[in-house]
Structure 1
Amino acid sequence: MQIKLRLMVALLGLLSVAATAAELPELIFPEGVGVNIHFVTEHTNDLDLIAAAGFKFVRMDFSWESTERKKGEYTWGDYEELTANLEKHGLRAIYILDYSNDLYEERVSSLHAITHEEQRGTASPQHPKSIAAYARWAAAAVEHFRGQHVIWEIWNEPNGYFWKPKPDVKQYLTLALAAAKAIRTQVPKAKIIGPATSGFDWPFMEEFLKSGVLEYLDAVSVHPYRDPGTPPETVTEDYKKLREMIGRLAPGGKKNLPIISGEWGYSSSTAGVLQEVQAQYLVRQQLVNMLNEVPLSIWYDWKNDGLDRGDNEHNFGTVTADLKPKPAYVAVKTLTHELSGYRILRRIEMDPKDYVLVCVNGSGGCKMVGWTTAKAHSVGVEMPFKSVHRITGMDGFGKGFTPKVKEGDLIFKVEQMPKYYAFE
């Protein structure tokens, strides 16, 4: 078993070269662990805590209207500051090329993307002049930040009311194609993703996949949100369906495009999940995404947007509005620490509700991480090596424990919060 394990580690190391060349993160923890933020300048304390938790990516709006206030004149200063601060903290950016600009489009009535209340706002680019202006701006932005290892996303949830006055797949595709072509012409090696749909909107996604835009993209991004009572593991079938669609509809050479989990979280509001469950789901989301070979997973959100426990949007954070760690913060920090440098080798076959993953690193080290979607119980798991000198355990919040062994099997108590086992 030990020889096989080392051979597999070597093979996976070779496969990682391709991922590095593409500048998408490898399937190694915590390289693809990310979080959504809502700030540009300052916020040093936030970035300190984000880096300390082991996050490696942040996702943030890259605002058209704030960077082009006069036609054809671009001001990048705030984003230069953010990009520099991210680099200092060992973080990379996904910048969302959004939204519209009233220099080019008129004001319209639409529904608010979150509250669904009527509002006035600038229409999304949907005329030749505004589409051309957006494409010029997007290409200029990517050119300006060339070499900064930014991943660029074309819009946010265009299948919802972030597209004004109402969702229109054909309008979005016209914009996405124009922008992607302009970016690729200006910066051929730019990293571009989309469409960042809200949920798995299959009709929207089918139109997107067969439009020809995949010719210019490096990955397909989606926001796999679930209802509070629906755990992260249910995403597996959706990923399978999306991969089948990509393979069927993508042009040659693009049929194996990676899938990016670009935004996904669970609110700990009174109508959401308990904070302890939010912590469980954050860790399991990252593990299940990695198990499904999703290299980049952005948790929504970094911090609570407000103080109202009854407001869904105020309670998605890993920390409170005043930066006090919630259980989710402690849990993700434990994950990134315990599995740093490790990738998932395989899932052990057992009850479908139980997840025990064998993880390895480049030095031949082995760990297991396990949990269940059912009630807590114990399972016997075969040792990864014939001779194990020492086993240590760590619970999901960083507290150590002594594992039990019976008749050569590890007695693995699986609970809804993942636990970690290290073998020497």
Structure 2
Amino acid sequence: MKKVKATFIISGVVLIILGFFLFNIQKTRERVVDQRSRSTILAKNKPITQKVGAFLWLYAYPKGSSQNREYIKSQIDLAKKTNLNYVVLPVVFKSDYLNNGKFNYSEFDYAIKDAEKDRLKPIVVFSSDNPNDEKNYNSNANKTLNKYRKLIKATIIRYHNRHVIWQMWNEPNGLFWFNQSQDGNDPRLVKRWTSLGSTMFRWVRKYDPKSVFLGGALAGNYSDAHIAIKLALKNGLYKDSDAIANHPYLSKSLPDNGAPENLFNVNSRKLLTSLSDNSNVKKKLMKIPLVTTEFGYSLQQTHSGIWSEGDQANYIARSVFILDMMHQPIISLYSLVDEGNGDGQWGLYRGTSPHYIAKQSGQLLTQLLSNLNGYRFNKRITEKSNRDFVLEYVKKGQKDRFVCWTMDSNHSLQIADQNVMVSQTPQIVYFH
């Protein structure tokens, strides 16, 4: 009897150990799958057509109205037509969408479902639009932040496993942080929003581990936002992010009319790395993916300047290729349409839904992306002038294609054994 009992106990212990061992194997496999998914999203060498997106506003008309639903659907259809891969969808905690501490997700549910149908990948960014926020934040910042922490967490849980990419609160170093900008340079403010970012990162890991969290969502290029970025890095921005996102808008006062080639100087990884004195932080900044979730040029006067429709088209197209050269895995423009997005006329399309009309920028980007489907950036071909750009794009089983333009006046270059007249408008050259 004692032998039977001993055998039973030993068998039980063996089963427990075996079960624990198998459980660990399963968890390890899940972690590997999750990590592989995150790496795929942030792969720097993926095809350019898997990198590009645009911002879509969802709140132009009354909540739940047929007009607002048409507005949302028209934009999503247009994003697909433009050959985009990503759509930035803002969760804006507007006062008329909140009831007893809960957010009305009706419009957002509609947008997510429609994006899924068109195989577009949503990038979700958060902000609020409540006239009482500034007063409440000033009187009790923690209470205000706790309110929005609960709402953000609920949103992440609601849309987990829906191929959503999660982004930090929109431009926390600007007025979107409860109208508390102070140029984004107050150490107390920076500590609060980096703390929120760390919390969001943990929630994404816990509830949606196959997805990624884009930290920062910073207003401005690295040069313009350098003080806030220095403070954020000291508070661990680089640790609690899968990638660092920013909105590197350029001023017309920069060289060459604010052309996107300025990004090489004011938004380089080298510049970002220089904003920390810590050698370990510098090492991490050399590896962490960098992404752009807003960028554009306006046809109407803004704080950045005003550009012609032709310049807008050329600069937006060139910015996509430049950011691709800089190995950014996500390149999202602001905005897809003018309608509902203020007076800046940043959009690729004008008019009202569903009858949008492509500007030159919308036409050019659509044409370029459609002819580079599945192609990835390989290298820049050296030319006599560093103001001439010839980029080699490759695709397995296909002949290479070359994207070219110049920052100067029109002139001829030898590309793919052809004499090609290059201009400030990017074009694609094919091997015969």
Instruction: Give the one of 146, 150, 156 matched to 1:136.
Output: 150
8 A contact 2:160–2:208 mirrored in 1: yes
Higher normalized strand content (fraction of residues): 1
Instruction: Give the one of 33, 42, 52 matched to 2:70.
Output: 42
Instruction: Give the one of 286, 294, 297 matched to 1:263.
Output: 294
Residues 249 and 149 of structure 1, relative CA distance in 2, 3 Å threshold: farther
Instruction: Give the one of 42, 48, 56 matched to 1:24.
Output: 42
Question: Deviation string for 1:125-179 (max 9, x for gaps)?
Answer: 9633332332232222111111111111111112221123322323322322333
The structure with the larger Rg is 2
8 A contact 1:136–1:182 mirrored in 2: no
Matched, 1:315 2:348: no
Partner of 1:279: 313
Amino acid at match of 1:76: Y
8 A contact 1:32–1:295 mirrored in 2: yes
296-305 vs 336-345, greater mean Cα deviation: 296-305
**Which runs of no fewer than 5 residues in structure 1 stay unpaired?**
1-16, 109-121, 384-408
Instruction: Give the one of 198, 203, 223 matched to 2:247.
Output: 223
4+ residue runs of structure 1 moved beyond 6 angstroms? 251-254
CA distance in 1, matches of 2:338, 2:48: 25
CA distance in 1, matches of 2:334, 2:318: 14
Instruction: Give the one of 206, 209, 230 matched to 2:230.
Output: 206
8 A contact 2:215–2:240 mirrored in 1: no
8 A contact 1:35–1:301 mirrored in 2: yes
Residues 48 and 165 of structure 1, relative CA distance in 2, 3 Å threshold: closer
Partner of 2:336: 302
Q: How far does residue 415 in structure 1 lie from its aligned partner after superposition?
A: 0.5
Q: How does 1:315-394 map to 2 (within 5 A)?
A: 315-322=345-352, 323-350=356-383, 351-381=385-415, 383=416
8 A contact 1:64–1:101 mirrored in 2: yes
SS at match of 2:201: helix
Q: How far does residue 277 in structure 1 lie from its aligned partner after superposition?
A: 1.1
213-222 vs 328-337, greater mean Cα deviation: 213-222
CA distance in 2, matches of 1:67, 1:125: 22
Question: Deviation string for 1:310-367 (max 9, x for gaps)?
Answer: xx83411111133111111110101111111111111011211000011101224200
Question: Deviation string for 1:221-280 (max 9, x for gaps)?
Answer: 011101232100110122231255589564976751111111010011266111111111
CA distance in 1, matches of 2:74, 2:259: 31
CA distance in 2, matches of 1:294, 1:369: 17
Q: How far does residue 22 in structure 1 lie from its aligned partner after superposition?
A: 4.1
8 A contact 1:359–1:366 mirrored in 2: yes
CA distance in 2, matches of 1:179, 1:100: 20
8 A contact 1:303–1:320 mirrored in 2: yes
TM-score, normalised with respect to structure 2? 0.76
Higher normalized helix content (fraction of residues): 2
TM-score, normalised with respect to structure 1? 0.77
SS at match of 2:424: coil
Partner of 2:17: none
CA distance in 2, matches of 1:143, 1:125: 30
8 A contact 1:304–1:321 mirrored in 2: yes
Question: Deviation string for 1:364-390 (max 9, x for gaps)?
Answer: 420011001111111223x4xxxxxxx
CA distance in 2, matches of 1:75, 1:106: 18
276-285 vs 46-55, greater mean Cα deviation: 46-55
Residues 92 and 415 of structure 1, relative CA distance in 2, 3 Å threshold: same
C-alpha root-mean-square deviation of aligned residues, in Å?
A: 2.9
